[in-house]
Structure 1
Amino acid sequence: MTAQPTAPNRGARTRTTRTPTKPHGQWVVDGQEPLNGNEEFKLADNGLNVRERIESEYAEGGFASIDATDLHGRFRWWGLYTQRKPGIDGGRTAQLEPHELEDEFFMLRVRIDGGQLTTQQLRVIGQISSEFARDTADLTDRQNVQLHWIDIENVPEIWRRLEEVGLSTTEACGDVPRVILGSPVAGIAADEIIDPTPQIREIADRFIGDPSLANLPRKYKTAITGHPSQDVVHEINDCAFVAVEHPELGIGYDLWVGGALSVVPRLGERLGTFVAPERVAEVWHGVTQIFRDYGYRRLRNKARLKFLLADWGTEKFREVLETEYLSEPLPDGPAAPKPTTLGDHVGVHAQKDGRFYVGAAPLVGRVSGSVLTALADLAEVHGSRRVRTTPHQKLLVLDVPEAEVEGLIAGLDALGLSARPSLFRRGTIACTGIEFCKLAIVETKANAATAIEQLEQRLGALEPEIGRPITLHVNGCPNSCARIQTADIGLKGQLVNIDGEQVPGYQVHLGGGLANVDRAEAGLGRTVRGLKVPADGIADYAERVIRRYLGDRENENETFAQWAHRADEEALQ
């Protein structure tokens, strides 16, 4: 007999039948059963273990001997990615499988926590580049150096040379704690609030290479600064510490969590806490463990800390941090004040010891092994033994006696490293682009360099009127390695339709920026419907919109970003 439906109980709440929500793959909530291929290979064998196979098997057997899961997965834990095969145009990026896009050579990322290098270390990187990487070297906006054309057979020798001078590629890539961004002027700036070097070193020494933190949901980025310029792009890191003075507790850090860009940008948020210097490593470890234990693992495109923070909010995040992961709660703390200086450190600046540091701009981060080796020699000739990389693709030479400054600047110019660059060279960065990256759709480095040269010719005379760098960030795909949403003019690589023809080009983001002397707070850029720029038209567009800004701004204090957010779409074309 078929059961007959019963009349509803009108005094009871009607229940709606819903499909159960799929698990997010949170270890604490859902258990550790892997829910996708990435989680399967990570659980099967910790990514750090692949080093032994590289040294004992793959370096001997060559590229063809490499296990596919190691090649496309665990190699990243040691800073290795296969690079793009030459000759594959951007239209095929999304059509081909990874093995069809990749060459039998690697990009190798050298990890440089805090951007701190001795001239000896810089020279070794340069020599490795010249001997093993066809003289390639890129400075990234994560303070790393990337080399290309690396053969697997040479990786053990490269590691030996790096480690001999205290460098490594450990966890330079992968679902791990990536390089720790640090103020490039840590310990030497005359206006520094606190030197974060001890905190950076404690985190690196205790936790980088720790197997218990080597299986995170996805990549995890850290930034720490003690400088008032807030020079480490803290708002777009998963965990960041910004120097602040507490009215009762003295100097420490303001804690930020959950920032990241990519295709779903989200700025980090303050937890409203004060972190004493001696507790930074504990707090960092707590935030990192929250990501490991509660982070979303089922879908890769949701596996960043920003998505957990968006669902939890800052109050719950702080509560879980303090009650489950810290030895005691954190005191409330104030926000850091607005920066009063630019954070790229280009130019000549006094150190606290009476000497000077000199910040120089390469052309969109592209250098070479020969240049790095020559820079090490040049620095030593002028009295320096220390160099720093920055989160803005710049280089600093520290500890320069006043009498040596001008000679150093002349030598830097001869190497293509300008300490007195144009505003356009100073404000432009670019990602790796289609030359080497398997995700890229459009060329970046060469296009950006050409645009700088053209803008210098066309707008150089207007630099006094412009007054400040207008940041131009060029990215080869939607993933925002060059931070397109936080630039005055951000260009996202894609195929675009120009006059009915599909060509390599860029979507435009306007008016973004992070905390700096011109902005009260960070903000993402706006997009203009239908606004696309061909790959060879960067300078044409930038010139047009900069001239319009100069003509339309309310006064000389109105920044490009302020104008771009209030301007009509017609003005931005």
Structure 2
Amino acid sequence: MYRYDQYDHQIVKERIAQYRDQVRRRLSGELLEDEFRILRLQNGLYLQRHAYMLRIAVPYGLLSSAQMRMFAHIARTYDRGYGHFTTRQNIQFNWIKLEDSPEILEKLSTVEMHAIQTSGNCVRNTTSDQFAGVAADEIIDPRPYAEIIREWSTFHPEFAYLPRKFKIAINGAEQDRAATAVHDIGLHAVRNDKGEVGFRVLVGGGMGRTPILGSVICEFLPWQHLMTYIEAILRVYNQYGRRDNIYKARIKILVKAIGIDEYRRQVEEEWVHLKDGPGTLTQEELDRVAAYFTLPAYEKLPVSDATFELKKAEDKAFANWLKRNVQPHKVPGYAAVVLSLKKPGVPPGDATDVQLDFMADLADKYSFGELRVTHEQNVVLSDVRIADLYEVWEQAKAQGLATPNIGLLTDMICCPGGDFCSLANAKSIPIAQAIAERFENLDFQHDIGDIELNISGCINACGHHHVGNIGILGVDKDGSEWYQVSLGGAQGNESSVGRIIGPSFSAAQMPTVIERVLEVYVRERIEDERFIDTVRRLGVAPFKEHVYATPIKTEETTGEDAYA
């Protein structure tokens, strides 16, 4: 994985010294909160409902065991014993004291990490496929390109104060596991008829108040021109993106306003001044960065293992875990393991300091000391020998990290919501826990099959509810917390934005609402048809009809106020 060079070390060292002085001046009263706000946000420090939250960058979701152990240290020393992994492949700590924050950044620097550009109107952390480099369907390894984007975008003076935050995702496989369609720029690796590598480039995707799927601005961009083309896209946005209205400042609004053809024309016009210039990637530069992502020392292993096959045949629980939590690997004899952070009763994406240390130990013992963070708020061991899978499963199960629910109903995406976030209209975590409790039966979940349920506490959509097969959005109604439900969203190769089914529901009604939605699916599905395919075939009408057919009575609602 990438290691800091002298420039990285110097940049981070100087930033910490600068920030330490800013915190000193804030604590002494020399800086007022309004003056300090923009300074702390540049270092990933947010002021939430109860305390400061620190968001730490995990570039393209890749972690070493040493970095994971540092997270464990921060969790137990400066927080309340846990961290929260996000859909942006980062980690957040929700109970940070301001006076501790410079020391935390200092400690992070010892394992080559920081919190720079995890907030603010700049280019944020570039995200990628959690199985990058090991995926069986990979076209190219996207991590070198993601690292080049990171180096280019960090402290880029021209793009430090964009109209709004800017997010880039890059995918190197046939299946889009980086959600490229809902990013400001989405990059999908492709090969042309000559076998040459390039990227299909999308612009103007995003969620929030105006969910929009990105539009293709270039079908095939040769990899050499990646950075100059990105720069041209950003220059046009930086010049013409709205700064008078925060809700209309994202690039998606500009692209929608003028149309993709006109935006493409303006980008091409700007690109004339950049194409084939100093920013053009060379093979030498790509090789320099790619050298950081060399393959580990894989053994030459058989495709299968007799003991493994026996355990798989004898132990149903192990077999279920293999089916849901283990992914194919491009190297024979190896597999990628997803450690589930979605055990019922635990907020989705949370991991305790003990679990963080444990995952680091697992990585050292079974996966060459490397881990990945997924968009779905889980953690991956990318290089596990098939012969070790049973042992890994037993150990992970003992730590509550082996729930066999990856891709199932209880593998929910969920933002921190109103329990922590000052922007939230409603709580997210209790809704996730109530639904998980109602549908905890794993046999039922396996029968239902693949289904993505995403929950956001407000319209900012940190829980990606717009692209959930079932999306739940917290809304405020006269000071009360209610929840809007949408169906038909999806990420990946067939991305779509869900449709709202009707009036919102109270928190107490939500498990029953999901139950009624699933009743229609079970009744109407054809053989092994996935939930999303049933919704696309039928539309939302039959689901809506069944959900609202009779009022949902709970301890908190009666027939007349069941819906709002």
Say yes or no: TM over 0.5. yes
Cα pair 2:132 2:172 within 8 Å, conserved: yes
Q: Bigger CA drift: 414-423 or 502-511?
A: 414-423
Task: Find the residue that maps to 1:73 and give its secondary structure.
Answer: helix
> Alignment partner for residue 397 of structure 1, among 359, 381, 400?
381
Task: Find the residue that maps to 1:62 and give its secondary structure.
Answer: helix
Please report how far the alpha carbon of residue 137 of structure 1 lies from its aligned counterpart in structure 2 after TM superposition: 0.7
TM-score normalised per structure 2 = 0.80
Q: Distance in 2 between matches of 1:155 and 1:445?
A: 26
Residues 548 and 452 from structure 1, CA distance in 2 versus in 1: closer, same or farther, beyond 3 angstroms?
A: same
Q: For 1:321-332, list aligned pairs within 5 A.
A: 321-326=267-272, 327-328=274-275
Residues 189 and 324 from structure 1, CA distance in 2 versus in 1: closer, same or farther, beyond 3 angstroms?
A: same
The answer to whether 1:375 aligns with 2:359 is: yes
> Alignment partner for residue 337 of structure 2, among 358, 366, 372?
358
Q: For 1:43-54, list aligned pairs within 5 A.
A: 54=19
The answer to whether 1:437 aligns with 2:421 is: yes
Paired residue for 2:487?
Answer: 510
Paired residue for 1:408?
Answer: 392
Cα pair 2:237 2:251 within 8 Å, conserved: yes
The answer to whether 1:303 aligns with 2:249 is: yes
Q: Distance in 1 between matches of 2:539 and 2:144?
A: 40
Task: Find the residue that maps to 2:228 and give its secondary structure.
Answer: helix
Task: Find the residue that maps to 2:60 and give its secondary structure.
Answer: helix
Cα pair 1:360 1:420 within 8 Å, conserved: no
Q: Deviations over 1:109-133 (max 9, x none)?
A: 1111210111111111221121111
Please report how far the alpha carbon of residue 554 of structure 1 lies from its aligned counterpart in structure 2 after TM superposition: 4.9
Rg larger in structure: 1
> Alignment partner for residue 526 of structure 1, among 499, 511, 525?
499
The answer to whether 1:536 aligns with 2:508 is: yes
Task: Find the residue that maps to 2:454 and give its secondary structure.
Answer: strand
Q: CA RMSD in A?
A: 2.4
Q: Distance in 2 between matches of 1:152 and 1:65?
A: 15
Paired residue for 2:240?
Answer: 294
Paired residue for 1:131?
Answer: 77
Q: Distance in 1 between matches of 2:387 and 2:466?
A: 41
Cα pair 2:58 2:113 within 8 Å, conserved: yes
Please report how far the alpha carbon of residue 197 of structure 1 lies from its aligned counterpart in structure 2 after TM superposition: 1.0
Residues 444 and 126 from structure 1, CA distance in 2 versus in 1: closer, same or farther, beyond 3 angstroms?
A: same
Q: Could you tell me the percent identity over the aligned residues? A: 27
Residues 61 and 218 from structure 1, CA distance in 2 versus in 1: closer, same or farther, beyond 3 angstroms?
A: closer
Cα pair 1:346 1:358 within 8 Å, conserved: no
The answer to whether 1:476 aligns with 2:457 is: yes
The answer to whether 1:55 aligns with 2:33 is: no
Question: How many residues are paired up?
Answer: 480
Please report how far the alpha carbon of residue 383 of structure 1 lies from its aligned counterpart in structure 2 after TM superposition: 4.5
Q: For 1:88-127, list aligned pairs within 5 A.
A: 105-127=51-73
| Paired AA for residue 405 in structure 2 | P
Please report how far the alpha carbon of residue 565 of structure 1 lies from its aligned counterpart in structure 2 after TM superposition: 1.9
Task: Find the residue that maps to 1:356 and give its secondary structure.
Answer: strand
> Alignment partner for residue 174 of structure 1, among 120, 135, 138?
120
Task: Find the residue that maps to 2:418 and give its secondary structure.
Answer: coil
Q: Deviations over 1:318-358 (max 9, x none)?
A: 222222135349xxxxxxxxxxxxxxx96223322332210
Q: Distance in 2 between matches of 1:193 and 1:306?
A: 28
The answer to whether 1:462 aligns with 2:444 is: yes
Cα pair 1:509 1:528 within 8 Å, conserved: yes
Task: Find the residue that maps to 2:42 and give its secondary structure.
Answer: helix
Task: Find the residue that maps to 1:470 and give its secondary structure.
Answer: coil
Task: Find the residue that maps to 1:408 and give its secondary structure.
Answer: helix
Cα pair 1:442 1:535 within 8 Å, conserved: no
Residues 50 and 62 from structure 1, CA distance in 2 versus in 1: closer, same or farther, beyond 3 angstroms?
A: farther
Q: Bigger CA drift: 439-448 or 563-572?
A: 563-572
Q: Distance in 1 between matches of 2:149 and 2:519?
A: 46
Cα pair 1:135 1:368 within 8 Å, conserved: yes
Q: Deviations over 1:425-453 (max 9, x none)?
A: 55411111111100112221232023112
Cα pair 1:511 1:526 within 8 Å, conserved: yes
Q: Distance in 2 between matches of 1:380 and 1:249?
A: 37
Could you tell me which runs of 5 or more consecutive residues in structure 1 were left unpaired when the two chains were aligned: 1-47, 86-104, 330-344
Paired residue for 1:561?
Answer: 535
Q: Deviations over 1:522-546 (max 9, x none)?
A: 221111232x222133322111110
TM-score normalised per structure 1 = 0.79
Q: Deviations over 1:161-185 (max 9, x none)?
A: 2122111111001101111011111
Q: Distance in 1 between matches of 2:98 and 2:546?
A: 51
Residues 564 and 138 from structure 1, CA distance in 2 versus in 1: closer, same or farther, beyond 3 angstroms?
A: farther
The answer to whether 1:349 aligns with 2:327 is: yes
Q: Distance in 1 between matches of 2:324 and 2:527?
A: 26
Q: Bigger CA drift: 401-410 or 111-120?
A: 401-410
> Alignment partner for residue 223 of structure 1, among 159, 169, 179?
169
Residues 50 and 422 from structure 1, CA distance in 2 versus in 1: closer, same or farther, beyond 3 angstroms?
A: closer
Cα pair 1:80 1:106 within 8 Å, conserved: yes
Q: Distance in 2 between matches of 1:50 and 1:116?
A: 22
Paired residue for 1:184?
Answer: 130
Q: Distance in 1 between matches of 2:524 and 2:477?
A: 28
Cα pair 1:348 1:419 within 8 Å, conserved: no
Q: Distance in 2 between matches of 1:286 and 1:346?
A: 42
Please report how far the alpha carbon of residue 69 of structure 1 lies from its aligned counterpart in structure 2 after TM superposition: 2.7
Cα pair 1:513 1:561 within 8 Å, conserved: no
Q: Distance in 2 between matches of 1:64 and 1:474?
A: 39
Q: Bigger CA drift: 119-128 or 420-429?
A: 420-429
Q: Deviations over 1:211-260 (max 9, x none)?
A: 32110001101000101220011111001101222113522210000011
The answer to whether 1:73 aligns with 2:50 is: no
| Paired AA for residue 40 in structure 2 | F
| Paired AA for residue 386 in structure 1 | E
Please report how far the alpha carbon of residue 413 of structure 1 lies from its aligned counterpart in structure 2 after TM superposition: 2.0
Cα pair 1:77 1:170 within 8 Å, conserved: yes
Q: Distance in 2 between matches of 1:216 and 1:429?
A: 28
